[in-house]
Amino acid sequence: MSAFSRNKGARGERLAAAVLKNVTGVSTERAARNGVGGSTDVIGLPGFAIEVKFGYKIQQQNLWWKQAIENAKPGECPLLMYKPQRKPWVFRLPLGLLLSQPLNHLWVELNSEGFGNIYKLMP
């Protein structure tokens, strides 16, 4: 991986953490062990394993979603945050979270405001 690619990813993860803090009120940060051994990209949001993709021209959401699911530990909800170039952040999470059922194979995509509203309704 090139230094440019690593720097872009790190920048995206810091931006994602800031967006999460803004919409949830929870202090989040870029994970120190980022990308090593199936780790999550952003930490601090209890119950979520967060995968971040930033600034890609070619969208590979299904591949990224699979990675988010694989990185989630038991009891964690996978959350994919991706930001296409010149577009707002998109949050993908399992539909089962909204239905209180374990349905990771079905998902819903929301903007940051939508995710923030759902998060604030969670117990």
Look up the CATH number of the domain holding residue 11. 3.40.1350
Domain enclosing residue 74, as ranges = 3-121
Both tokens assigned to 17:
């953490």
Question: In this predicted model, which residue has the larger pLDDT, 32 or 100?
Answer: 32
Task: Give the model confidence (pLDDT) of 61-107 as tens digits.
Answer: 999 999 999 999 988 999 999 999 889 999 999 988 777 666 667 88
Say if residues 9 and 30 touch (Cβ distance below 8 Å). Answer: no
pLDDT score, position 26: 96
Beta carbons within 8 Å of 61's beta carbon, 6+ residues apart: 80, 82, 92
Number of domains in the chain: 1
Average pLDDT score, the chain: 86
pLDDT score, position 4: 58
